[in-house]
A and B are shown apart, each in its own frame.
Chain A
Amino acid sequence: MMETIKHHVSDDLLMAYATGNLAEGFSIAVAAHVSMCDHCRSMLESFNALGGALMEQYTNITVADCAFSKTLERINACQSVSQPEKKLKSDFPEPLSDYVGHSLVDIKWQPLGMGVKQAVLETSEDATARLLYIPAGAEMPDHSHRGLELTLVLEGAFADENDYFAKGDVEIADGSTNHTPVAMDGKPCICLAVTEAPLKFRKMFHRLIQPLIRI
């Protein structure tokens, strides 16, 4: 656990994650932050408790007579999964490792210029999650989009005019945030940055191609 985390995920986002209404890309950032932060973990588990209480008290629909025996058949068909897996040593929080592997060295970076690199994660299309590598002293690239943007620091630190974000910290910004974050402390900064999908572009694309393909 890291006691030094100062910038947390908001309660809105934790609740959206608890209810299952958060896009996959943002969910990776929330799950990764929670893995590092007991403060947010306890809040998330409280939102889960609310879901558990609602489910137990306010939903009830009779299941088919054979549901129990069918469940036992399923259990018997799949006996090998009940042992805890041994955890691999990883450069990343576990939920992120599921997407990018365990080693920083193996990341397939794509250069963005000025030494800045990115690696886009494969997720559902409603949000885009990417790893960013920013060399010491360099500026973060302008990856601002309309809408919500989460940046989780994985290694190093960055700072803008107002604040300083170290390992485990999350910066929550919307489209109107105007700033130029810089990698601090003479070290490169590695972040997970998640942005909402640029829906406006997609709509325009459809408008442009519609007359051509007559849909």
Chain B
Amino acid sequence: MIPLNTQSCHADGSLLGEVCVTNDKSARPNGEYQSVTSENGIDVARWANELELVRREKSIEAFERLFNHFAPKVKGFLMKSGTDNAMAEECVQEVMATVWHKAYLFDPTRASAATWIFTIARNKKIDALRKQKRPEPEDLGWGPEHEPDQEDVIGLQQETERLGQAIANLPTKQRQLLERAYFSDMSHSEIAAATGLPLGTIKSRIRLALDRLRHAMK
């Protein structure tokens, strides 16, 4: 059980649980991967570290930091996609609970925390708005002893930051087109090829990580 340590919003204002977690600064990750915030506030390494703490140590502090950063983004994504406020709040809780439960599936050599959480939020959206099942590819889970290759982790983080920069540098119209494709129902054939984003480099990175993973699993 996780101690419930935050103030609940029950009508009577009662506190749930007895354990109170202090803001223990020493519990913060001390930069396992070098964490540098780029100009537009993207810090891929930091959030990968926090997820790693959730995965390895079930750290509620790390989870709360992830929550504070990503929950509003998930809510924004859901509301832009057409859910109302109440449904978005409900879905955010489900998405973030899934982040906690499925943290063992997060693979920092193939996705950033933002990417991974996006896929969970997207699946929730399909479930909530369209009432459809979402078939997902077979997972390439890590074996029990497999540790992610640090070179792949750092490489993926650099490419993800490059992608973020490239999106920020797009002409506004083009970026809005992408947002429409991802946040609402829109035909994508017109934009798939037209963005000039460094998706090829990300793809090579992921491919490399997949090759190593396959090799390790043999």
Binding site for B on A (CB under 8 A): 1, 11-12, 15-16, 18-21, 24, 27-28, 31-32, 34-35, 38-39, 41-76, 78-79, 81-82, 84, 93-96, 98-99, 123-124
Contacts and interface: CB of A to CB of B under 8 A. Distances in A.
A41 to B, nearest CB: 6
B2 interface: yes
A14 to B, nearest CB: 9
B64 interface: yes
Interface stretch (B29-37, B147-155, B199-207): B199-207
Contacts of A46: 199-200, 202-203, 206
Query: Mostly helix, strand, loop or mixed at chain A's interface?
Result: helix
Interface of B: 1-2, 4-9, 16, 40-42, 60, 64, 67-68, 70-77, 79-80, 88-89, 92-94, 96-97, 100-102, 104-105, 110-112, 114-119, 121-123, 125-126, 130, 132-139, 141, 160, 163-164, 167-168, 175, 178-179, 181-183, 185-186, 188-189, 192-193, 197, 199-200, 202-204, 206-207, 210-211, 214
B92 A19 contact: no
Nearest to B15: A69
Contacts, number: 233
Contacts of A18: 122
Given A49-B111, A56-B114, A24 B6 contact: no
B9 A69 contact: yes
Nearest to B72: A60
Contacts of A73: 4, 8, 16
